[in-house]
Amino acid sequence: MHTRRIGDVEVGAIGLGGMPMSIEGRPDEARSLATVHAALDAGLTLIDTADAYHRDADEVGHNETLIAKALATHERGADVLVATKGGHLRPGDGSWTLDGSPEHLKEACEASLRRLGVEAIGLYQFHRPDPKVPYAESVGAIRDLLDEGKIRLAGISNANPEQIRQANEILGGRLVSVQNQFSPAFRSSEPELRLCDELGIAFLPWSPLGGISRAGGLGSAYAPFARVAEAHGVSAQRVCLAWMLAKSPVVVPIPGSSRPETIRDSAAATELKLSAEELAELDAV
């Protein structure tokens, strides 16, 4: 597994997104644990979770608890950087709400610490801007948690370029990651990716495989991914992640998975080399 950096931590170039193991349509616990273990066996050392990754109102932090159990039952569990998030909520009716108040973020961090069973969270990220709370106040809470040693690294998610610069300033230059949606079907985060590349901040694409499930369809806009995949004898998903990794050394995709075989396939993307012509063809999709 090739590696990249998040702050001063070296991680596998592909991470694991934990959300599918805890929301609607989730698998049983045994398969989820097997998926996390397969990720570790493949060399992944970054797992992304959040307190909002749950299904029912009475199980806040379901995914954090699951990840903690999986890591505790694997010999390489201690080598993993666990990234979690606060500021998003799920009332239990399928909706998502926001609370970016400093009070909530600090309480949420304490609860995440307990569920993960650690003294300090490896990477803590402000999940999504809350229009009701000034952004500086929300990020200020993350700064306080960093200063207090409750978290080791600080990140933000779903941010625009102005918010990235503002957060980095508030954190005193200690912003290490930005987690935004980015995929073949969702490329509007290109400016944020370029800014992260310029500043040396890790860019963590969430839902990186968006659109790829339709790559093989006749007339599909994403058919070039399927053509490149066929030429290499691999999946379109693997091509997608390799294309993403080639964009910048700060990119660390975090594909969600709930099956051992899918995360193994994703992990193999770090070994796939695409030609300049192939990359240009995929960029043009």
Q: Which two tokens stand for residue 127?
A: 């999940």
pLDDT at 1: 86
Give the integer Cα–Cα distance in Å for 93 and 113. 26
Please state, in angstroms and rounded to a whole number, the distance separating the CA atoms of residues 128 and 114: 22
Residue matched to tokens 């499930």: 213
CB 265 within 8 A of CB 222: no
pLDDT band at 219; cut points 50, 70, 90: confident
Q: CA separation (Å) from 135 to 55, 89, 101, 106?
A: 27, 17, 9, 15
Residue-wise pLDDT tens digits, 204-218: 999 999 989 888 876
53 included as an active-site residue = yes
Cα–Cα distance measured from residue 77 to residue 51, given in angstroms and rounded to the nearest whole number: 20
Confidence at residue 218, expressed as pLDDT on a 0 to 100 scale: 64
Residue 285: Cβ within 10 Å count: 16
pLDDT in tens, 41-99: 999 999 999 999 999 999 999 999 999 999 999 999 999 999 999 999 998 888 999 99
Share the mean pLDDT of the chain. Answer: 97
Catalytic residue chosen out of the listed positions 53, 124, 135, 222: 53
| pTM for the structure as a whole | 0.96
Residue listed under structure tokens 């009070």? 103
**Radius of gyration of the chain from Cα atoms?**
18
